[in-house]
Amino acid sequence: MAAAFITFEGIDGSGKSTQLRMLAGELAQRNLEVVTTREPGGTPLGARLRHALLDAEAEVDPLAELLLYAADRAQHVRTFIRPHLLAGRIVISDRYTDATVAYQGAGRGLPTNLINQVVQLATDGLRPDLTLIFDLGVEQGRLRQTRRTAHGANKADRLDMEDAAFHTRVREAYQEIARAEPERVRIIDAGGTIAETHLRVMRVVELFLAERKSGVGSQESE
């Protein structure tokens, strides 16, 4: 099986992390070599950057924020993602560059050319083969986050605390990315149950893997 780089994206509360675990479990059962990871925080250095980035008490300037996500990603691409792809594995990452375009670009309003330059520098041009964007209403996402926080499953982080207008810009940016790159990006309706969303994910990923196997639409990861 050829290497593949798959990324999961979506607004906070979209349920993508649960779906990522379910997909990875399903692929591993089929004897595919899968590794899962996330941004920020996919490496030991990244875990420290994640802590700094998401600290609800911290004041972080937008440019500093962009560069910290980029530092996390440079370390991640060079020490984790590329080596696993070169070893022929399927790498599934919970967030990658589209999050920077959506959050720091549309959310914070940093200029597109700056975002593109920084993304290019951090990734050295490594792009996902397939990206799933988990889409649901901002209010629904907030409700899910609030419920999780109330159950102690996670704490509201610095970006969760942004207002609805911020999260609406992020959601719209993701939808725009999907329109602009239909070969790479698929929107997954994340408004239903976990099981329903999982079925939608499996349909898209099975098609993607079958196409890669037969060489239809296959692209190199690098």
Q: Which amino acid is at 48?
A: R
Q: How many CB atoms lie within 10 A of CB 61?
A: 9
- 153-158: long-range contacts (C-beta < 8 A, 24 or more apart)? 155/56, 156/56, 157/54, 157/55, 157/56, 158/53, 158/54, 158/55, 158/56, 158/58, 158/60
Task: Give residue 106's region: left, alpha or beta (phi > 0; psi -120 to 50).
Answer: alpha
Site residues (CB under 6 A) for ligand TMP, limited to 124-183: 159
Yes or no: say if 95 and 8 are a contact pair by the CB < 8 Å rule.
yes
- Name which position in 15, 39, 81, 190 contacts ligand TMP (CB under 6 A): 39
Nearer to ligand TMP, 152 or 215 (CB): 152
Nearer to ligand TMP, 18 or 221 (CB): 18
Q: At its nearest, how many Å lie between ligand TMP and the CB of residue 28?
A: 22
Yes or no: say if 11 and 174 are a contact pair by the CB < 8 Å rule.
yes
Nearest residue to ligand TMP on Cβ basis: 103
SS3 content of the chain, % helix, strand, coil (to 5): 55, 15, 30
Nearer to ligand TMP, 41 or 209 (CB): 41
Nearer to ligand TMP, 64 or 87 (CB): 64
Stretches 33-41, 83-91, 195-203, 209-217: which one binds ligand TMP (CB under 6 A)? 33-41
- Name which position in 69, 166, 174, 208 contacts ligand TMP (CB under 6 A): 69
Which residue reads 């609800």 in tokens?
Answer: 56
- Name which position in 15, 40, 46, 128 contacts ligand TMP (CB under 6 A): 40
Site residues (CB under 6 A) for ligand TMP, limited to 71-130: 95, 99-100, 103-104
Nearer to ligand TMP, 40 or 128 (CB): 40
Burial class (CB in 10 A: 0-12, 13-18, 19+), 123: buried
Q: At its nearest, how many Å lie between ligand TMP and the CB of residue 159?
A: 3
Nearer to ligand TMP, 102 or 209 (CB): 102
Nearer to ligand TMP, 38 or 82 (CB): 38
- Name which position in 3, 6, 12, 129 contacts ligand TMP (CB under 6 A): 12
Helix (H) or strand (E) holding 165: helix 164-180
Task: State phi, psi for 63 to the nearest 5 degrees.
Answer: -70, -40
Task: List residues binding ligand TMP (CB under 6 A).
Answer: 12, 38-40, 54, 69, 95, 99-100, 103-104, 159
